[in-house]
Amino acid sequence: MGRCPHGCKIGQVAPLDTALGLAPQQRTSLAVKQIACALAVFVPFETVAALLQCWFDLPVTPGAIWGWVQVAGQGAMARLQRELERLEKGDVPTAESL
């Protein structure tokens, strides 16, 4: 935790959290959330919760997994909308090289 040496009122800063990409109040890593969302495509949320408990000894509720899936879905829809708007403007993406 860092503070301004001159007593500035900027609040507390956690530079490592920023470097690691952690959001305030975040308790679960992005990798675990991605695994849970990928599993939720194939099995019920309750099963995903049980698998996370077995694999990572991580107690997660099915409701938390549902929330993660909702956030991931909203992000995917926002990205799709931005790409569609770019295509409407004529900004055609170039092919990626292998």
Which ranges of the chain does DSSP label H, i.e. alpha helix?
15-20, 30-40, 45-56, 62-88
Question: pLDDT value at position 34?
Answer: 93
pLDDT mean over 78-86: 94
Distance CA 60, CA 40 (A): 13
pTM: 0.67
Mean pLDDT value across the chain: 83
Query: Could you report the per-residue pLDDT of 14-31, keeping only the tens digit for each?
Result: 666 666 666 666 678 888
Distance CA 59, CA 87 (A): 43
Structure letter (DSSP) for residue 6: T
Question: C-alpha dihedral over 39, 40, 43, 47, to 10 degrees?
Answer: 90
